[in-house]
């Protein structure tokens, strides 16, 4: 790999992408629709395969892998190649398959970054090796088992009281972390919110006990099997792309060339068009992918928030948790949500160590799995998936990732939230029904109905 002294700067620049579009429609709690940007700027942002936070995580993983292999081989980090990283990953006997998949995704992401200083041959070989690597089929079998969080772990009802007692009886500290943690734990069980979702959660309708939570796990890129695209989304996407092109001084064909380079940096360097017709066909295909990407963004905009209705007995704990969090964040710039989370996480671990002498440790995320168990016992798996923010509300989603109804509290109905009766939820339910209807083969759009390739190819400029 050629020396690349600017890689530390490259990772910073690579993560400076804008967030996904805010909710549309002027709903309470949503941001106003931003002014249309230049088409070239949107293409550069939209073609990033992951959001800013994930890109930052992938960057840290990639440089950790590079540093570790460089130390092992006693070479300069700039001479470590992506293929070597994949080979080391395959030979590692200490990592679980899920961890290897994450590291593999980080290597693929790094190979696609234009500012990382890879030679074309290194980049191509690295992408091929990483894409072909499957931890379940290739590589060493895991031999050394490390301590890790168990999947679908919930907090049993008989363990909750000792944890709360340990938090309440803890020696008071200046930030009062035990108290904050006790309310966070109860609020998590009452709502099923992911820990990071509390940063922007708020009361949508306090009198009706409706809490609005952000859905932070929306995929930035369309699913590979997203074949059904509502005509309304396509029309809005087409209008948006044309409006963005109208304010862009760059030639439209140049924008499409840039989009191809971003989508596939290796293939784009070898593409040559024999004639205008070949270019128009390629431009039409590229425009199709851009319109699909914009339609996916618009779809995500409608899924940005979910509304849940709390049971009366849990409102006080949720309100106190929100109040404590807001008061802390208002204390100065040095007080961040991450620091609040770290303080509560440490307090919960300490409380578990005091409450149990067999090493049982619970996390704040376990409150979400506990909420899932209560919701499944009260309403069934499909409604539980919707409460937790899983858009398609599939049974297998909750069954594969959360505790089941058999681990619910004895009186689960006193804790389990429900889907709120709001316009936001009704719109999402209608969109979900339309997609499920199409997936069943009843009225999905064919490509000829969805895209007019001939018209696009004939008019390469807007």
Write down all domains in the chain, each with its CATH number in brackets.
Answer: 7-132 (no CATH), 157-218+304-421 (1.10.443.10)
**Within 13 Å and on the Cβ side, how many CA atoms surround 340?**
26
- For 204-244, what is each residue's pLDDT tens digit? 999 999 999 999 888 887 876 676 777 788 888 888 888 88
pLDDT category at 441 given cuts 50, 70, 90 is: low
Where is average pLDDT lowest: 71-85, 163-177, 374-388? Answer: 163-177
What distance in Å separates the CA atoms of residue 363 and residue 153, rounded to the nearest whole number?
A: 9
Q: Are 402 and 368 in contact (CB under 8 A)?
A: yes
Q: What is the pLDDT of residue 326?
A: 95
> Which pLDDT belongs to residue 51?
77
Instruction: Give residue 151's pLDDT.
Output: 60
Lowest mean pLDDT among 27-31, 266-270, 304-308, 407-411: 27-31
pTM above 0.85, yes or no: no
For residues 344 and 364, the answer to whether their CB atoms sit within 8 Å is yes
Q: Which of 9-23, 71-85, 115-129, 351-365 has the lowest mean pLDDT?
A: 9-23
Among 57-61, 140-144, 250-254, 412-416, name the most confident range.
57-61
- Cβ–Cβ under 8 Å, residues 462 and 239: no
**Rounded alpha-carbon distances, angstroms, from residue 314 to 211, 229, 306, 366:** 12, 39, 18, 17
Is 19's pLDDT higher than 50? no
Q: What pLDDT does 273 receive?
A: 60
Region 349-364: mean pLDDT is 92
């Amino acid at each position: 790999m050629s020396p690349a002294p600017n890689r530390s700067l490259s990772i910073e620049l690579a993560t400076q992408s804008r967030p996904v579009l805010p909710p549309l429609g002027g709903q309470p709690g949503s941001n106003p629709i931003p002014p249309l940007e230049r088409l070239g700027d949107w293409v550069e942002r939209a073609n990033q395969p992951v959001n800013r936070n994930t890109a930052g995580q992938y960057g840290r993983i990639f440089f950790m892998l590079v540093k570790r292999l460089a130390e092992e081989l006693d070479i300069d980090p700039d001479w470590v190649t992506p293929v070597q990283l994949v080979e080391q990953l395959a030979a590692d006997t200490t990592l679980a398959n899920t961890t290897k998949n994450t590291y593999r995704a980080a290597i693929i992401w790094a190979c696609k970054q234009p500012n990382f200083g890879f030679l074309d041959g290194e980049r191509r070989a690295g992408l091929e090796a990483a894409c072909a690597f499957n931890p379940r089929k290739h590589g060493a079998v895991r031999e050394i088992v490390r301590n890790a969080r168990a999947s679908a772990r919930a907090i049993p009802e008989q363990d909750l009281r000792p944890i709360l007692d340990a938090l309440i009886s803890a020696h008071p500290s200046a930030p009062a972390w035990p108290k904050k943690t006790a309310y966070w734990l109860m609020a998590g069980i009452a709502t099923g919110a992911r820990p990071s979702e509390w940063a922007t959660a708020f009361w949508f309708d306090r009198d009706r006990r409706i809490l609005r939570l952000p859905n932070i796990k929306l995929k930035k890129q369309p699913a590979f099997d997203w074949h059904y695209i509502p005509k309304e989304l396509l029309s809005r996407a087409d209008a948006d792309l044309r409006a963005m092109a109208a304010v862009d001084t760059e030639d439209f064909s140049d924008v499409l060339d840039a989009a191809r380079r971003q989508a596939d940096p290796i293939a784009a360097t070898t593409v040559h068009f024999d004639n205008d017709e070949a270019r128009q066909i390629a431009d039409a295909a590229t425009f199709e992918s851009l319109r699909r990407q914009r339609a996916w963004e618009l779809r995500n905009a409608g899924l940005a928030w979910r509304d849940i209705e709390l049971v009366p007995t849990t409102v006080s704990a949720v309100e106190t948790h929100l109040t404590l969090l807001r008061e802390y964040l208002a204390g100065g710039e040095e007080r961040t949500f991450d620091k609040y989370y770290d303080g509560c996480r440490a307090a919960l671990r300490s409380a578990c160590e005091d409450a149990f002498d067999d090493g049982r440790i619970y996390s704040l995320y376990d409150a979400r799995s506990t909420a899932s168990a209560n919701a499944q016992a009260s309403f069934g798996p499909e409604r539980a998936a919707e409460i937790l923010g899983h858009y398609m509300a599939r049974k297998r989603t909750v069954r594969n990732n959360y505790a089941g109804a058999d681990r619910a509290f004895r009186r689960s109905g006193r804790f389990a939230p429900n889907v709120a009766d709001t316009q936001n939820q009704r719109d999402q339910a209608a969109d979900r029904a339309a997609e499920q209807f199409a997936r069943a083969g009843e009225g999905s759009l064919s490509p000829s109905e969805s895209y007019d390739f001939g018209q696009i190819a004939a008019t390469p400029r807007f």
